[in-house]
Structure 1
Amino acid sequence: MLEDKFGSRSLHQLWHDKKIAQRGEIFKSASYQLHGNGCMIEYPEHCVDFDFGPNGRTDGFDAWRLYNYACESPEKYAKYTNVATVESELNQYIQEDMVKKIDNFTSNLYFLRNPKRPINLTFRFSLLKIQSLLNFIGALTTSLKIHGLARRQH
């Protein structure tokens, strides 16, 4: 969506070069606002806020983004409208090695990863305890993909 509008995924470079404004309209019912290392896309019914990761990735998340995403749809994600709950479950997910923080990068974003080891029964039980967070993270990354914002890592 953004690449279609501006001809590039390097929005911060375009902004820095004064080729696009910091904020503006993408199409009639959606606008963007560049900030720090990210961008917020505003639709009439919700917002999607993301930071640009390495290689143009936009599927990164942290506790704060998950919390904000939940607050956009509290009827659907009521459990995660408590930031302490999000932080606690994300920490469990980190311990289970299901997410990875990007090394040598300026952001604190995490990305979903596939486990390198086979899933044993203890590990599977641990995953079941945090399955709702996995579903929630999946909903966030799916939302980014639906809106044309996520880019797979090559």
Structure 2
Amino acid sequence: MTKKADTIALEDWLFDRIQNRRSTTVVGEFGATEVTLTDKPVKSVTVAQAKKIGYLGRVDFISVSTEKIVRAYEIKVSMSDFKSKAIKSWVGHFNYLVTTDALAQNHKTEILDALPHGIGWLTPAGFIKKPLKRDPLIDVDWLIWLMMKSNAVAVAKHRSEGVNIK
């Protein structure tokens, strides 16, 4: 399935956001898109098998700081996307719904009413709702490994397509 332009724009915005939080003396925070989540190592298996052994869905974007604070972001660009039955992977210390500004303006009350307790809501214009800190659902070191795996897959894909990676 091809990503919508709005989804790619929000991913780019999240990468820029974590990049801008870095200082000149601290590396700061790193991110990855489309991180497949498991609570234990998995090799190539069917979806049914994966669910039995700890498949927890896929998070749209995860960042981790050098202090090992994990932020998980679910990107939604339409109300049908928001209302879908797809797993929403709130696995971080801080968890965010990320939407376009237009979606937020047009459906603010409806989305706030449906947003789970403790989940923040962020748009390029800023916070609509701040998240509450909680213990992550998956071991942080394992999440970092899953992020590295996701980024390695992305690099391999781009290289196979002849795209130079900066």
TM-score normalised according to structure 1 size: 0.30
TM-score normalised according to structure 2 size: 0.28
More helix by share: 1
